[in-house]
Structure 1
Amino acid sequence: MLNLSELRVTRGRGTGRHEVHLPGLTLTSGDMLAIVGPSGCGKSTLLEALGLLLKPSALDSYTLGPSETDLAALLWTENEHALAEIRSRDLGFLLQNGGLLPFLNVRDNISLPRRLLGLPTNSERVRHACAILGLEPLMDKRPAALSIGERQRTAFVRAMAHEPRLLLADEPTAALDPQAGELLFGLILSLVQELEMAALVVSHDRTLVAQFSLPRLAATLTSGGCRFEPET
């Protein structure tokens, strides 16, 4: 599903320089991996680079999907058209702030990725996720009328609505109470396995990560930044 080697993202200069380094990563269909580490170490930066939102300072290889699309080549040649297509079709993003469009209601926010790809707006998996997360009574509301937790749950369903190959979630449970967080984590894991996706989830909640026995990509602080490696 995903294979990557020697990813580096550098921000700042001089004494303010910070490098995020991922020596290697392999994910297969159904894998869900938690990215853990202290605040400010670069977890969100790593997620943005994997999601093709940041151009790395170094990258040996990065392929995605059964066809092993060469994402590294597209990044180095700055093929923005192809990168935009991959972001919309193969990637699902769940940002910390939700990122919902304020002028669309819940129903239209969720259906937007499917409509942009020409997919039928009706999806049994989307309906199931909405039911599990208690979103059905909120469909006609706009984001401003939702609680923070309701916005985050809506954003998750939107991120998986088009059934991407790779789901990238940045602190998806940060705005949720423990029970809702557990429910969302369980739903993410079940859908990733059911849809044969892969998922990378940034989380500060090590208790929740341990509860679901998720493998971890852990941060180690270095003199010039941070390195992420599988935690043993």
Structure 2
Amino acid sequence: MVLEGVVATRRAGGAAFTLTIEALRLEAGSLVAVTGASGTGKSTLLDIAALARRPDNATVMAICGTDAAALWARGAKDALATLRARHFGYVLQTGGLVPFLSVGANAALAQDLAGRRDAAHLVALAGTLGIDDLLARMPASLSVGQRQRAAILRALAHRPALVLADEPTASVHPDMAATILALLADQARQAGAAVLLATHDAPAARAAGFHEVPLQPGPASSRLPALLPA
């Protein structure tokens, strides 16, 4: 994934906040943690990267060989949805599991949307995450830590090229937070995926092997400095 010269403005109650992404290039196996205080644009950054939010301007938005900026310009929502389904796995703060589907069905849905149904891979991944005995359970019956592991299972089940995680440890005990970050990093590495993590816990992210990139706040704005491979 390559993002260059991307600008997004969020407006609420007459106020405006602008996020500028100078340059962000993620390759297979990259582990990047974007850090910053609440309100500095971490979630906005992930939504832009996930093609869930249209930027105001974008010099380059290249996703797995596709010009996403051109798709936004044409209003090609179906093509953007296909890109998201095939190439992205998203771990939300609260897990974001479909409440009326079991853990296994949530992960299978991600595989189906990507056109990559692989029951054996799903079961093996669940075993590595320690939730193979929870596949038939409904999300409401799980603990917070179990839900986050289930969300990681869903995010990785279809072998995405890019995994996005928005404060995935914000609501769990510090010991569980370390476990979740380590599992997310290890499983993404094994799958050959890049991981873009938004977190307020920089020490935990660094301990899990993530390269920290702090957002640089300014008046009603934040900037992500250029991050290119060495």
Using structure 2 for the length normalisation, give the TM-score. Answer: 0.92
Q: How far off is 1:10 after superposition? A: 0.4
Q: Is the partner of 1:19 in helix, strand or coil?
A: strand
The 1:180–1:123 alpha-carbon spacing in structure 2 relative to 1, beyond 3 Å, is: farther
CA distance in 2, matches of 1:230, 1:195: 26
2:66 to 43, 66, 69: 69
Q: Which moved more, 1:21-30 or 1:108-117?
A: 108-117
Query: Which residue of 2 is the match for residue 22 of structure 1?
Result: 21
1:202 aligns with 2:198: yes
In the alignment, structure 1 residue 138 sits paired with structure 2 residue 134: yes
Which amino acid in 1 is paired with 2:203?
T
Partner of 1:9: 8
Task: Mark the CA change 1:118 to 1:60 in structure 2 (over 3 Å): closer, same or farther.
Answer: closer
For the pair 1:176 / 2:172, whether they are aligned, the reply is: yes
2: distance between equivalents of 1:7 and 1:75? 13
Identity of aligned residues (%): 33
State the Cα distance separating 1:120 from its structure 2 match. 2.8
Relative to structure 1, the CA distance from residue 59 to residue 77 in structure 2 (aligned partners, 3 Å threshold; closer, same or farther) is same
Contact 1:51 1:87 in 2 (8 A): yes
Q: Tell me what 1:193 maps to.
A: 189
| Alpha-carbon distance change, 230 to 118 in structure 1, aligned in 2, over 3 angstroms | closer
Whether 1:99 aligns to 2:96 is yes
Return the letter of the residue paired with 2:6: L
The AA in structure 1 aligned to 2:150 is T
TM-score, structure 1 length as denominator? 0.91
**Alpha-carbon contact 1:165-1:197 (below 8 Å) kept:** yes
Per-residue CA deviation, residues 192-215 of structure 1 (Å, 9 max, x unaligned), is: 222221110111112212213421
- Residues 130-149 of structure 1: per-residue CA shift (max 9 Å, x gap): 22332122222111111222
Alpha-carbon distance in 2 for matches of 1:217, 1:230: 9
Task: Determine which of 107, 110, 115 is the counterpart of 1:113.
Answer: 110
Query: C-alpha separation between the residues in 1 aligned to 2:163 and 2:116?
Result: 18
Count of residues in Structure 1 that have an aligned counterpart in Structure 2: 227
Confirm or deny that 1:228 pairs with 2:224.
yes
Displacement of 1:94 after TM fit?
A: 0.8
For residues 12 and 93 of structure 2, what CA distance do their matches in structure 1 show? 27
Question: What secondary structure, in the 3-state scheme, does the structure 1 residue paired with 2:59 have?
Answer: strand
- The range that moved more, 49-58 or 189-198, is 189-198
Write the distance in 1 (CA, Å) between the matches of 2:13 and 2:154: 40
SS in 2 for 1:59: coil
Amino acid at match of 2:91: L
CA offsets 1:151-202 (integer angstroms, 9 cap, x no match): 1111111011101111111011223323322222122222222222111011
Is 2:87 aligned against 1:87? no
Distance 1:41 1:145, change over 3 A: same
Change (3 A) 1:222 1:110: same
Q: 2 CA distance for matches of 1:38 and 1:9? A: 18
SS of the residue corresponding to residue 100 of structure 2 reads: coil
1:215 touches 1:230 (CA, 8 Å); kept in 2? no
Distance verdict in 2 for CA 1:175–1:128, change over 3 Å: farther
Runs of 4+ in 1 over 3 A off after TM superposition: none
Check conservation: 2:101, 2:138, Cα contact below 8 A. yes
- Secondary structure class of the residue paired with 2:69: helix
